[in-house]
Amino acid sequence: MPDGSLDRLKREGRIVVVGASLAGLRAAETLRDKGFEGTLTMIGDEPYEPYDRPPLSKQVLLGKATADHTALPRRREIDAEWRLGVPASGLDMATRRVKLADGDEVPYDRLMIATGVRARPWPNEAEGELDGVFVLRTRDDGVGLARHLDAGPRRVLVIGAGFTGSEIASACRERGLEVTVAERGDAPLVGALGGVIGAVAAEMHRENGVDLRTGVMVTRLEGDTTGRVRAAHFSDGTTLECDVVVVSLGAQRNTEWLAGSGLGAGPRGIACDAGCRAFDVRGIVTDDVFVAGDVARSPHPLFGYQFLSLEHWGNAVAQAETAAHNMLSESSDRRPHIWVPAFWSSQFGVNIKSVGVPSMGTEIMITQGSRAERRFTGVYGYQGRVIGAVTFDNCRWLQFYEQQIEATAPFPPPFPTVDRRSDGQRPIPADFPDPSVPTHGPTITLSGYSPADRRMTFTPAGH
Amino acid sequence: MRLVVDLNRCQGYAQCAFLAPDVFAMHGDEGLLYDPEAESAQRERVAQAVAACPVQAILVDEMDMAAAGRTAASAEAPHA
């Protein structure tokens, strides 16, 4: 029963948002939109105000924008106290305090965690620190990589052919740079879109002059006497001379600072309910800690109530809005976050977009266009229903398939395709690799318990 | 002025690239590149692009636009 505590929270409460990126900013704006008049504190580990990351692997590498000009537009004034350049280092849920790395503590009545992910570093630390070796995630990464590409390296090596790696390779070719892409899987994008689409992506790389090497790992990076990277050694015994290396092996979730806090946080993210309320380690939902964006994982009814974590721009916005709404609502007014996953990529002049969870699909059917023309729609099926779709330069079809996914429409689609080309006749296996074999990180992670999944093991925490 | 395009929404209609070609450009048939921090001289063209986008995918900084509105209002004041 409403007891006035919510009004008090709105009027004079303290809300702390940890994570000053897309999700954190949109959450803060939503809180003020919903009438929150109390104290709002934004904590971010980078010294910059919230900025947009997608341009870093696109506009910035193409030289069409600079990395320090990607600050996100504001929807409104948020009147927040900014604590930038200092990461959160701990959480005391009993006394409701966020600890900062500089020793300070910030008390809260409600907490929003949107700490996102960071680039997975090269596993050999000394090699990763060689001059010329980059990851691409932050604004500083973007500045450094763009500067090295401006200097005209003789050859760039991209390790990992997921979306980011492919976009980097594409930008390099557009700038006329020689680039080699090393991918452990059989093709680019296989983790996210499967082998059928991966084969199309591989052709795009090669047609555009990328030296694409699949089924191979980089075993060692070698520096010269001045500490600059000069070569890479491959698992097939070959060696490649290169003076820029971009490690593009997916992301890791920023949850280490929550170790020992009692929150249900780990390498897979922070578990929360569909209303963005975080679970504690006992599986009990909290009422004052909310989660949004890449670091959150929440159950989704369209995908068997499995816990989804989504490294998607649109998800960060939508989940932040829902979390902020729920944060200031009575329980009966809260709403679930049941956004349909959607993302885009742009590479080799082709616009790639997807909805749903293609990686859950076992079959794919090309319903419009043809793979040979690089203009098509692929629909993914799972247990007789439509579970995802991907378009290459065919994005106006996507909304239709988004509705099909939401309606759990049958697969293969019962309607005749309007397109009579040979690609569109029948479903074929989507050819996803064994998920237990590591590859570049997918942008969607299914991280819940599934009865069919026996690889999960329960590891009690030490505390 | 800061702007961002929701590329989930964007369907490549290219209205923005026609109206503000110094800020928005098509990359391939339906991909879009844009300058996330456009020159303030582009404000009027960007405003047209925002209005013309069939899927309303362009978000321009609210404070930028509010400041522009105030400037415009004060500039007009002597004639009122």
- Please indicate whether, in this complex, the C-beta atoms of B8 and A313 are within 8 angstroms of each other: yes
Q: How far is CA A164 from the centre of its chain?
A: 10
The pLDDT of A286-314, averaged and rounded, is 94
Chain A residues contacting B via beta carbons under 8 Å: 52, 54-55, 58-59, 62, 64-65, 69-77, 313-314, 317, 342-344, 346, 349-351, 353, 375, 393, 395-396
**By CA distance, what is A346's nearest residue in B?**
B31
Reported ipTM? 0.89
Q: What's residue A434's pLDDT? A: 74
Share the mean pLDDT of chain A. 92
Q: Which is more confident, B8 or A439?
A: B8
The pLDDT of A203-213, averaged and rounded, is 98
Under the banding of pLDDT at 50, 70 and 90, the label for residue A458 is: low
The pLDDT of A67-79, averaged and rounded, is 95
Q: Compute the distance between CA of residue A243 and CA of residue A229 in angstroms, rounded to an integer.
A: 6
- Please indicate whether, in this complex, the C-beta atoms of B62 and A396 are within 8 angstroms of each other: no
Chain A interface disruption, residue of B7, B39, B42, most A CBs within 10 A: B7
For A252-294, the pLDDT digits (tens) are 999 999 999 999 999 999 999 999 999 999 999 999 999 999 9
Q: Compute the distance between CA of residue A258 and CA of residue A187 in angstroms, rounded to an integer.
A: 36
For residue A91, pLDDT beyond 50? yes
Sheet holding A244-247, edge to edge: A133-134, A244-247, A156-159, A179-183, A211-214
Q: What's residue B74's pLDDT? A: 40
For residue A227, pLDDT beyond 60? yes
Q: What's residue A414's pLDDT? A: 84
Q: What's residue A423's pLDDT? A: 66
- Please indicate whether, in this complex, the C-beta atoms of A343 and B31 are within 8 angstroms of each other: no
Q: What's residue A417's pLDDT? A: 66
Under the banding of pLDDT at 50, 70 and 90, the label for residue A124 is: very high
Q: What's residue A135's pLDDT? A: 98
Q: What's residue A437's pLDDT? A: 58
Under the banding of pLDDT at 50, 70 and 90, the label for residue A441 is: low
**Percent of chain A with pLDDT strictly greater than 70:** 92
For A192, A272, A288, A336, the CA distances from A1, given in Å and listed in that order, are 45, 24, 17, 20
For residue A421, pLDDT beyond 80? no
- Please indicate whether, in this complex, the C-beta atoms of A73 and B62 are within 8 angstroms of each other: yes
* Identity of the residue in B3, B8, B28 whose CB atom sits nearest the CB atom of A344: B8
Q: What's residue B73's pLDDT? A: 40
Q: What's residue B34's pLDDT? A: 96
The pLDDT of A187-191, averaged and rounded, is 95
DSSP reduced 3-state for A7? helix
DSSP reduced 3-state for A127? helix
For A106-117, the pLDDT digits (tens) are 999 999 999 999
For B20-77, the pLDDT digits (tens) are 999 999 999 999 999 999 999 999 999 999 999 999 999 999 887 777 665 444 434 3
For A365-388, the pLDDT digits (tens) are 999 899 999 999 999 999 999 999
For residue A34, pLDDT beyond 70? yes
Token pair 């349909």: residue: A340
The pLDDT of A224-248, averaged and rounded, is 97
DSSP reduced 3-state for B20? coil
**By CA distance, what is B7's nearest residue in A?**
A344
CB A194 within 8 A of CB A428: no
Burial of A163-179, coded b for 16+ CB within 10 Å and e otherwise, reads bbbbbbbbbbbbeebeb
Closest CA to A149 of A284, A16, A42, A57: A57
Considering only CB atoms, which chain A residues are within 8 Å of B35? 59, 64-65, 69
For residue A245, pLDDT beyond 60? yes
* Identity of the residue in A73, A74, A349 whose CB atom sits nearest the CB atom of B27: A349
Q: What's residue A462's pLDDT? A: 55
The pLDDT of A403-420, averaged and rounded, is 84
- Please indicate whether, in this complex, the C-beta atoms of A314 and B3 are within 8 angstroms of each other: no
Under the banding of pLDDT at 50, 70 and 90, the label for residue A424 is: low
* Identity of the residue in A65, A75, A351 whose CB atom sits nearest the CB atom of B35: A65
The pLDDT of A223-249, averaged and rounded, is 97
* Identity of the residue in A58, A70, A393 whose CB atom sits nearest the CB atom of B29: A393
**B55 near A CB under 8 A:** no
What residues of chain B, 26 to 45, have a C-beta less than 8 Å from chain A? Answer: 27-37
Q: What's residue B76's pLDDT? A: 40
For residue A460, pLDDT beyond 80? no
Q: What's residue A439's pLDDT? A: 55
Long-range contacts: A215-221, Cβ < 8 Å, 24+?
A215/A183, A215/A184, A215/A185, A215/A186, A216/A182, A216/A183, A216/A184, A217/A182, A217/A184, A218/A157, A218/A159, A218/A182, A220/A124, A220/A127, A221/A122, A221/A124, A221/A127, A221/A128, A221/A130, A221/A133, A221/A245
